[in-house]
Amino acid sequence: MKDAFYITTPIYYVNDYPHIGHAYTTVAADVLARYHRLCGAPVFFLTGTDEHGQKIEKAAEKNGERPIELADRVVTRFESLWKALDISIDDFIRTTQDRHKKGALALFQKCLDKGDIYEGEYEGWYNVSDEEFLTETQVQELGSDIEKNPNFVRLKEKTYFFRLRRYQKQLLEHIESHPEFIAPLSRKNEVLSFLKQDLRDLSISRSSFSWGIALPNDPSHVMYVWFDALSNYLSALGYPESTDHYNNFWPAQLHLVGKDILRFHAVFWPIFLMSAELPLPKQVFAHGWWTIEGEKMSKSKGNFVDPFEFIDTYGSDGFRYFLLREFSFGQDGNFSKESFIQRLNSELANDLGNLVSRSLSMLEKYREGKVPQADNSIPSILKSSVETHLQDYQKLLPTLHFDQAFGEFWKILSKANQMIDQKQPWALAKNPDQSQELDRVLLDLLEVIRLSSVAIAPIMPNLSRQIREKLGLPELAAKIGQNQIEEKLSWDAETIKKGEKGQALFTRIETS
Ligand code: ME8
């Protein structure tokens, strides 16, 4: 039996509508969830919303609504975006749900019982939009700007602190003995250098506002929003109950996060878990950030990419593909409409779409849409190079090298397109003596098209389904214990029933 695969995205704040950054992490998680399901693994894919804290309270106040009304309204935008983007989540957690509060409180209680939380007084600066306490270095760097920025508030209040320092050494040892725990490497090094400094204890409760989970030991305080939020990864499994979900899926295989929230996941979260004596997730992977047309995405610039707009105009598959193909996961990259259109036109409309339509129209023209009988005396032209690329694809995709994995598969498509140009099936068709050679070319093309339907299934599930329909093959099924990817991603693994050109797979986007 394959190892269970529990994958999470961050839970998103409900003070804002979803944008490309939210779509990015969630699509990446979806591709992995779909891939692992096709590998036969039991998968649990979780996303959700982070609904407590000062930022949400303030945003609601500004709109003249109660925080829960704001959350109820915005959460539907996230839910409909995931639907529109074909995100195959297994669960959606909201931190205002009772099941979550129960889990968060249980975790907090564990840390209290352990003696890791103590009462004190916090005096310092707080960044409301990041829901984060500023470090001494940050305060020094900001200088007098700090007082001019409404996002920063000076706090002096009674608070409960978490003894982070107690676990500093244990966490460093864990990171060193589990090289895969934080990825990519550059991010791991950032965390290591942070951990090599003196780790201040963390203020873990707030008493100046009330939108949060009241502490079990002192209801005049609410839980710090990051303690609350991080515990979603456990509460969604039914923690603290020993449910089947909990037993099957904890520890998580992978927390996918953006680079800005790595420290919460790779320092605070493991420390809370160590305190509660729970196993740590296997990996935290931090991806990079998108700029938009070369500029930082920001509210003041009003340059947020609204995923709905792109999905409505160009479809979900194309948007998903672009997000993961444009640059390496882990690096920063740029979103430009021009490169979006160019990539979709060249890789989806030309390389893939044209290959499918050219090949199937030749099959209809020369063989009435019937799959030729293979003549074993004529060897396949593409098989051996295709097999090498397929192996690479299967190594690269589960290790989050999405751009390279699809790049590798696209080499197969360009070899198939080149083969058409070289073999000139239209010329072969004129000579009855070359009929078997034509069959061979057509069979190779059909097989590459079939392999495409398997390789793109995790990232472009709709295009995959359409290709399989054209070939008379059933949709790829993801069943626990049945390794569909490995089984079907080898040469001649399925019997193609037909080749029907039908509608174009992906239409070229006209630009003016
Ligand atoms: O941080 N490019 O929620 P959030 C790529 N509630 N990713 C981007 C981005 C960009 N330009 N801008 C933002 C939170 N992101 C917390 C998480 S988890 C227990 C709690 C990413 O709604 C960012 O890196 O602010 C982060 O992963 C997510 O979008 C924003 O989440």
Q: If DSSP states are collapsed to H, E and C, what string results for 30-60?
A: HHHHHHHHHCCCCEEEEEEEECCCHHHHHHH
Strand partners, 155: 124
Report pLDDT for 133. 84
Split at pLDDT 50, 70, 90, the class of 2 is: confident
Over residues 127-132, the mean pLDDT reads 85
Label residues 376-415 b or e (16+ Cβ within 10 Å = b). eeeebbbeeebeebbebbbebbbebbbbbbbbbbbebbeb
Report pLDDT for 130. 85
Report pLDDT for 138. 84
Question: Which domains, from first to last, does the chain contain?
Answer: 336-488 (1.10.730.10)
Report pLDDT for 417. 97
| Nearest CA residue ID for atom 15, ligand 1 | 21
Split at pLDDT 50, 70, 90, the class of 472 is: very high
> Across all residues in the chain, what is the average pLDDT?
95
pTM: 0.96
Whether the predicted pLDDT of 300 surpasses 80:
no
CA dist., res. 171 & res. 271, Å (int): 7
Taking alpha carbons only, the member of 94, 147, 98 closest to residue 125 is 147
Q: Which residue has the tokens 């009003």?
A: 302
Split at pLDDT 50, 70, 90, the class of 56 is: very high
| Nearest CA residue ID for atom 18, ligand 1 | 10
Instruction: Give the distance (Å) from ligand 1 centre to CA of residue 207.
Output: 26
Split at pLDDT 50, 70, 90, the class of 452 is: very high
Which residues contact ligand 1 via a Cβ below 6 A?
Answer: 10-13, 21-22, 24-25, 50, 229-230, 257-258, 260-261, 289-290, 297
Report pLDDT for 169. 96
Instruction: Give the distance (Å) from ligand 1 centre to CA of residue 332.
Output: 14
Whether the predicted pLDDT of 141 surpasses 90:
no
Report pLDDT for 168. 97
Whether the predicted pLDDT of 301 surpasses 90:
no
**pLDDT tens, 398-427?**
999 999 999 999 999 999 999 999 999 999
CA dist., res. 210 & res. 220, Å (int): 8
Q: How far is CA 13 from CA 1, 10, 80, 103, in A?
A: 37, 9, 16, 19
For residue 472, what are its two tokens? 């008379």
Whether the predicted pLDDT of 363 surpasses 90:
yes
Instruction: Give the distance (Å) from ligand 1 centre to CA of residue 20.
Output: 10
Residue among 7, 8, 13, 228 whose CB has most ligand 1 atoms within 8 A, to mutate: 13
**Backbone angle region of 119, left / alpha / beta, with phi > 0 → left and psi within -120 to 50 → alpha:** beta
CB 298 within 8 A of CB 151: no
Atom from ligand 1 closest to the CA of residue 269? 19
Report pLDDT for 247. 97
Split at pLDDT 50, 70, 90, the class of 445 is: very high
Whether the predicted pLDDT of 299 surpasses 80:
no
Report pLDDT for 258. 98
Whether the predicted pLDDT of 512 surpasses 80:
no
Report pLDDT for 115. 98
Taking alpha carbons only, the member of 89, 76, 72 closest to residue 26 is 89
User: What one-character DSSP code corresponds to residue 93?
Assistant: E
Over residues 432-441, the mean pLDDT reads 96
Instruction: Give the distance (Å) from ligand 1 centre to CA of residue 23.
Output: 10
**pLDDT tens, 107-124?**
999 999 999 999 999 888
Split at pLDDT 50, 70, 90, the class of 131 is: confident
Instruction: Give the distance (Å) from ligand 1 centre to CA of residue 185.
Output: 20
Atom from ligand 1 closest to the CA of residue 22? 29
Instruction: Give the distance (Å) from ligand 1 centre to CA of residue 21.
Output: 6
Instruction: Give the distance (Å) from ligand 1 centre to CA of residue 258.
Output: 6
Report pLDDT for 140. 86
Report pLDDT for 31. 98
Residue among 50, 54, 265 whose CB has most ligand 1 atoms within 8 A, to mutate: 50
| Nearest CA residue ID for atom 21, ligand 1 | 21
CB 285 within 8 A of CB 51: no
CA dist., res. 65 & res. 268, Å (int): 32
| Nearest CA residue ID for atom 27, ligand 1 | 258
